[in-house]
Each structure stands twice: as structure tokens, then as C-alpha cells.
A and B are shown apart, each in its own frame.
Chain A
Amino acid sequence: MILDLAHSLCTIEVLGWEIHVRQRSVSANAEMPERFRGDTLELSHLPELATNSRVRTSLAWICSIVLCSAAGLALIAAANNASFRGLNYNRALILFFLGLVFVFTPTAIRVLMRDVDRWERLVLIVILGGALYATKILGSPNAFTFIDEYIHVRNTLNILRTHHLFQFNPLLPTASYYPGLAAVTAGLVDLTGFSTFVAGLLVIGAARILMSACFFLVAEEIMGSGLAAAAASLVYAANPMFLFWTASFSYENLALPLAAFAVWWLSRSRDQLESLMPIVTAVVIVAVTVTHHVAGFALAILLGVWWLAEWLTKQPAASRRCVGLMFLVAGSVTLTWFFFIARPAASYLVGNNIAPAVQQTGSIILHHGKARHLFSGGPKVPEWFMLAGFTAYAILLFALPFGLYRAWNLLRSRKIRAGYGSRAGHAAIAVAMAMAVVFPFSLLPRFAPASGALASRSSEYLFTGLACVLSLLAEQAARHQHGGARRRSMRPTFARWCRTLVVAGMVTLVLLGDVTVGTTFSEVLRESSHPAGDPWIVQPDVIDASEWARVHLGINQHFAANTVDSLALATYGEQDAISGDSVWPIFFADAMNSTVVHTIRTARVSYLLADWRMTEGLPPISLGYYFSPFELFGSEWEPLPSIALRKFASSPCARLIYASGPIQIFDVVRIENGSCVPRAAGTVQGKRSSS
């Protein structure tokens, strides 16, 4: 009974929408030149809406897709389990990709079909977002494992401990000036009693739902078609960062969904400046600003371009004023926070990230630098893995001109219609086109040695526009299903299924390929419980050592350790792990020479954590180093020599205070304060003689 009632309500809403849109389309078309009538945006609704008597939310489809997703997640869990147990990684990876196909493809097929209710599409897109989020959790079921996640765990712990903001974060000082994620997670921990891990998962899970739903609704608003919006959501979900990075406990992954929500809410309320609705938009803008720098700027720029486009296209004054006001709010709040509160952010963003990436990319374009080999570094990557990545980008780049052409036609038709009194906006599609045009150029930094992060991270933003443009092709394919009367009478069902399957298959290929592009080969699945060589995630024995340090040494001690172990020290141990850039010489010298002593004193190192696994294997592939990208490693690519760690035990100035398995902690306070000088320091013997 309840289901029937919900069903009928849903149908009424859809029918109501149909009437609204149809009336608008017809009135606008009436005065339009003949050659533009068939190309208007609103006509793209018609494949769905013309058959609205058949448009129903199918509970059977939804249940079937949920079951398929569950089966896919079971396969992914099995693959992760196999990898964790140290079984054949390549086979486990194939199982993982098969699971992804089970999760993604059924949803893609259903949402790309005609005659599907918009709410069903929306629900399925949200379910897909949740299932892909669960994929990430299955890879790290017990704790956060990504490097950036530790940064925000430390921020959260700082707030929980001190109840205040802007405490020093040794892993990334800038992050403590954008406390939105940490504050809301700490609040949830306070209110519910959950652990930081569970609270973080819930916050990012909520953000994932928000992102999936808002992206669909905004895309629907832009393109005026539920089918196109669903296709856009699928393409966006296929971006290289969506599966793992966007699901991680990181500030950007909360800010970006909030920005999407702000855009959706503003698109609903932009005609109502006199109402209270813009207040909500302003609150959300402030929340984005205090959560992430780039997302704040991106939102401000988007609102600015939106306002400009509305102004150029002579949209109603109330709408323009509302968007303009929100642009002013976003711009002023973001700039104020960036320059007056988050002061270290400028040097971090520009000096450490953007400028080097642009410089390196420019060098490669001008043939002054050597381009990086894609998929290089570490063990040999299977050919099929590389092929999947190249295929994904080949599909995207091949489809892009056709999508742009389709978008251009749409833009032109909207412009014509605007001249005939239609209020259909065409500013948004122009913005989407601009972002899509930038996409191929955003791939260039991937060839620079240290600019891959810029290319990867920019995809989260550029795929919004790219997805909208490419979705027009999917929508066009569905529209062509109508065909002529003769074709309809011949094999309509077969043709319809073929087109839908082809489009769904292409998007699935893009998803699978982008997983290989966005994630290092050896890090797609869980790390083995007994990793060979230096691990890329924090190991339990390091966590034990960190907790021991917190209990026995107190918090905020100055530690030197490799990058991965520093994460555990900074979070589980709440220690001030010193940046690897400052301390790497301590670990690379063969003896306690003057360089080691000088580095310990200048970096004010009190304790050293020596992880003997560094001597058994190469550094993690995703990092490419143990401590710092600046570390000197000679000409050969080999593990750290054991003599580099043996020197601590043999020095009378370094006191071993903890030893468990491969982990040792040395107290070097006496070296740091100058009360003890190692014998080798300042002697010839200290300069590599011990080797």
C-alpha cells in the first residue's frame, strides 16, 4: 500500500514536470526558424517524456542492481583478502576489476535506458556512489591508510585534545588552517562517542552521497535531461580520482561535495534574492572556504564565470543579482581566509605545488626536460594494466570533439531560443565546454617527473565539465533510438539495447582504465600482511611503537623517521614527526659523522625511529623515496644499506630505548643538546670509512 502510494506520487511529479517542460518548449519553438526547431535543448527531454505514460520507478530493477552491486563488492572483498594473504596479486587484481564491472555496469545500463523515472536514475546514481565508496573501505577496513588521511586524523586529534583550532600539524602545517573536516569529525566523535575512524568514514560517506546526488541534479539542470545527467554522473564517477582518492578522509573530499551542493541550491534559489534561501548558500560557501583552499577558489571562480555568463546572455536581473552576490561572498570569504588566516597556504600551494609543476611541464613542452615514462617505477606493470589506462584516455579524447560539437549545437540552439523569448539558460553549457576543452591540456603534467599530482587532482574539477559534454553523446544516442517509423517497426528493442550496451560498455572501460591511471599498480589492493621490503602502509608494529612513545615519552616529542612511519608517529603517537626533507641525511650516512650531528641539532631531533624494513626493499612506489624526494641515493636503485642504521646502535651518544622486531627507537637528546658528541663526528673516520 505504501509502495503504491509512493509510486503514484512519483509518477505525478514526473508527469507534472513533463507538462511544464513541454509547454515551455512548444511556446519557444513556435516562433523559431524551422532549421533550429529540432535541435533545441528541451527537445532532448522528449525521448523520456514523450513516453511518460511508461515511465515508472522500477523497484525490481533497483533491487536487481543492488544485488549485483553486492555481488561485485563481495568479489572486491575477496580480491582484497587474497592480496592481504599474499596470494597471486595479478589474479586478485583481475577479480577486483571483475567486481568493479559488477558494481558499475548494471547501474550504467539501467540509468542509460530510456523510459526510466528521474528519481530512479538519481537513486541508482547515489547507490553507485555508495558502492564505489564501499570499494575503498574494503581496501582499508580497519583504519585509514592513505597518507593524506593521516594528516586529517592528526588535525582531528588536535581538536579533540585541545578543543581549539590551528594546532601545529607536523605532517602538513597548512592543513590545520582549513579545519572544516577535522572540526565536523571531532564534533561527531564528541556527540556520538565513535572513534575517529568511524566518524571520518561517516562524514566522507555523507559527502559522497551529497556529491553523487548534487552532481546529478546540477547536470540535469544544465542539460535538461535526466538521461544526460545520469550519463554525466557515470563519466564523473569514472574519473581517475573518484574510486579511491575522493573516498579518502581528506578535506577536499568534503569541500567539493559541499561546493556541488552550493551550486545546486543556488540554481534552485537564484530567482529569490528577497527570500532567505541565499542565506543557506552563504553558509555553505563559508563551510567550503574553511574546509579546503582549492575548492573554495574553484567555487568562487565558478560563481564568477556563472555570473558573467548570465550577464552576457541577459538573464533576468534577479537571477543575475543573486549569483553575483554569492560570487562576492565566495570571493571575499575565500580571499580573506587565504591571506589573513591560512597564511602558510600560499607558499604551500604556489611554491610547493603549482609553480614546480608548471615549470616542469613547461620544460618538457619546450624540450628542456626529460619526460617521465608513464607507469614507470617499481616492479614491472602488466601490459593489460597499461593498456586499460591508454584505452580509457583514448575513448575520452576521441569522444571529446564530438561532444563539443554536440554542445556547440546545443548552445547555438539555446541562443536562438533565447532570442525568441525562451529563458532557457545556455551559460552553464558554455562553462562546461570551456572545462572540457582544458581537459586534454591537463594531461601534459602527467609527463613531468613531479607534476602527476597536479594532473590527477585537476581531474576532479575538469571532469565536471567533461562529463557534461560527453553525456550529450549518450543522450543523443538514446534520442536516435526513436529513428524513423520503419526502423521502429523493425527491431526497436534490439537496437535500443545495443546502443545502451555500447554506451555503458564505453563508460565502464573508462572507469576501469582510469583506476589504473589514478592508482599505482601495487596499491590497488590491500597490502600483504607480510610485505616484502619496505611497506607502503603503516604496519602494526609501528603503531605499537608509536603508542608506546605516546605513553612513555609523552606527546609532541621531536621524532625523525621515514615518511610512512612518521604518519603513525604523528597520529597514534601524537608526536611531532619532523619533515623528511630536514632529517634524511641522518639516516643515509654510514657513520655518526658531523653531517648527522649537525642535522640532528639543526632539526632539533630528540628521537629516531629506525625501521629495518628499509634495508630489505625499495621505498614505496607511490612515494619513490623513504624520507624525502631530495634524498641522495647514489646512482643505483637499491635498498638502504644496513650500515646506515647500524651506526645508531654502535654510538654511545644514541641510547636504544625501544626495540620490537624491525623497529627501534633511539634517544638522541644528548646529541641534540650538545652534551655528547659522537666520536666519528669531525673525524675522517666519520666520512664513509665504516663502509
Chain B
Amino acid sequence: MRPTRSRALVGSCVAGAVAVAVESFAAPPALRVALGLMMVFVVPGFAASCVVTRRPLSVGESLLASLGTSLAITICVSVLLAATPVGLTRGSLADVLGGSTIILSVYAWRRTRPDRGVQPGRESTSKMQP
């Protein structure tokens, strides 16, 4: 696993944890805005795309995958929460998005560790990817 990707996964894990933690106390508005934007547009999708792709995407593709997957995850989670008795609130959304980000990040980190023995020949390839 590339160190950059590993660090990014750690970062997403931390962002998820902070998002969950911040929900329980009055955080500064700037922190709340930054975390909110990251949780809706970037972090869950990045963690999810790291889980499903063993071979790191290029930077541009990774950004695109993070954005699209994050939006899709947030939509599904929001609709699911609002459809249940729990309801869609700041706390419930932060808990579910943050929690799932932590789980996905840890899983992606463990899954792509070098000592897991990922065979180069079995890595995902893409026609778009040179």
C-alpha cells in the first residue's frame, strides 16, 4: 500500500471519529462546517472506494470517486434515517456517517496492507488507467 493512501485512510478515520465526537459538544462553527463538508462530499466515499479498489486510483479519479460515492452514501443514509423512527438529525447523521467512515477506513487499511499478500497480477485494472 502506498504511504499516501495509508495516511489518507488514517485521516479519514480521524475525520469520522471527530465528526462523531463533535456532535456531542458545541464545536466552533468553522470546525463544524469543515467536518460537515468533508462528511457529505469526500470522506465516506474515499473510504468506500479504498475498500472496493485494491489498486489505488489516480488522484483525479480518486477525487471523483470520493465525491460521487460520498454523495450516494449520504443520500442513502439520510433517506434511511429519515424513514426510520430515529429520524434524520444532526446527531444521527453524524453518528452513522462518521461510524461507517471509521469502519470502512479500518477495513480498507487492513485489506490493503502489504503483509496481506495482495498479488500484483490480481489487482484491479482499468481500461482508463494506464
Contact = CB atoms under 8 A, between A and B. Distances in A.
Interface stretch (A231-239, A280-288, A519-527): A280-288
Nearest to A162: B87
A317 B14 CA distance: 41
A265 B124 CA distance: 13
A159 B71 CA distance: 18
Contacts of A220: 128
A221 B127 CA distance: 8
Given A192-B37, A280-B69, A163 B76 contact: no
B109 interface: no
Given A187-B78, A214-B68, A277 B40 contact: no
Contacts of B65: 265, 280
Given A13-B58, A287-B75, A291-B75, A187 B52 contact: no
A192 B73 contact: no
Interface stretch (A107-115, A203-211, A632-640, A659-667): A203-211
A82 interface: no
B109 to A, nearest CB: 15
For chain A, which range describes its interface: under 10, 10 to 19, 20 to 34, or 35 or more residues? 35 or more
Contact of A207 (B40, B71, B87, B126): B71
Given A165-B82, A192-B32, A287-B72, A280 B128 contact: no
B49 interface: yes
Contacts of B58: 13
Contact of A191 (B69, B87, B94, B127): B94
A650 B109 CA distance: 75
Interface string A130-171: 000000000000000000000000000001001111000000
A191 B93 contact: yes
A187 B52 CA distance: 25
B130 A16 contact: yes
Interface in A271-309: 271-272, 275-277, 279-280, 283-284, 286-287, 290-291
Interface string A245-289: 000000000100110010011011101100111011001101100
Given A265-B65, A287-B71, A192 B83 contact: no
A629 interface: no
B82 A159 contact: yes
A217 B128 contact: yes
A190 B83 CA distance: 17
A188 interface: yes
Q: Which of A16, A214, A267, A272 has the most CB of B within 10 A?
A: A272
Q: Which of A163, A221, A275 has the most CB of B within 10 A?
A: A163
A270 to B, nearest CB: 10
A283 B76 CA distance: 8
Interface in B64-119: 64-65, 67-69, 71-79, 82-83, 87-90, 93-94
B36 interface: yes
A617 B33 CA distance: 44
Given A191-B40, A258-B72, A268 B126 contact: yes
Contacts of A264: 64, 68
A283 B88 contact: no
Given A164-B87, A217-B128, A221-B128, A190 B93 contact: yes
For chain B, which range describes its interface: under 10, 10 to 19, 20 to 34, or 35 or more residues? 35 or more
A165 B79 CA distance: 7
A183 interface: yes
Contacts of B77: 187
A184 interface: yes
25 contacts: A19-B130, A119-B60, A164-B88, A183-B75, A183-B82, A183-B88, A184-B40, A184-B74, A188-B36, A191-B19, A191-B35, A191-B39, A193-B32, A193-B33, A206-B67, A206-B71, A207-B71, A213-B64, A214-B68, A217-B128, A261-B68, A264-B64, A283-B76, A287-B72, A287-B73
Which 9 residue pairs of A and B lie closest in terms of their CB atoms, listed nearest first? Answer: A16-B130, A191-B36, A163-B87, A192-B36, A183-B78, A261-B68, A17-B130, A287-B72, A190-B90
Given A192-B36, A254-B75, 13 more contacts: A159-B88, A180-B75, A183-B78, A187-B40, A193-B29, A209-B67, A221-B128, A267-B128, A277-B124, A280-B52, A280-B72, A283-B48, A283-B72
Interface of A: 13-17, 19-20, 119, 122, 159, 162-165, 179-180, 183-184, 186-188, 190-194, 202-203, 206-207, 209-210, 213-214, 217, 220-221, 254, 257-258, 261, 264-265, 267-269, 271-272, 275-277, 279-280, 283-284, 286-287, 290-291
Interface of B: 19, 29, 32-33, 35-37, 39-41, 48-49, 51-54, 58, 60, 64-65, 67-69, 71-79, 82-83, 87-90, 93-94, 124-128, 130
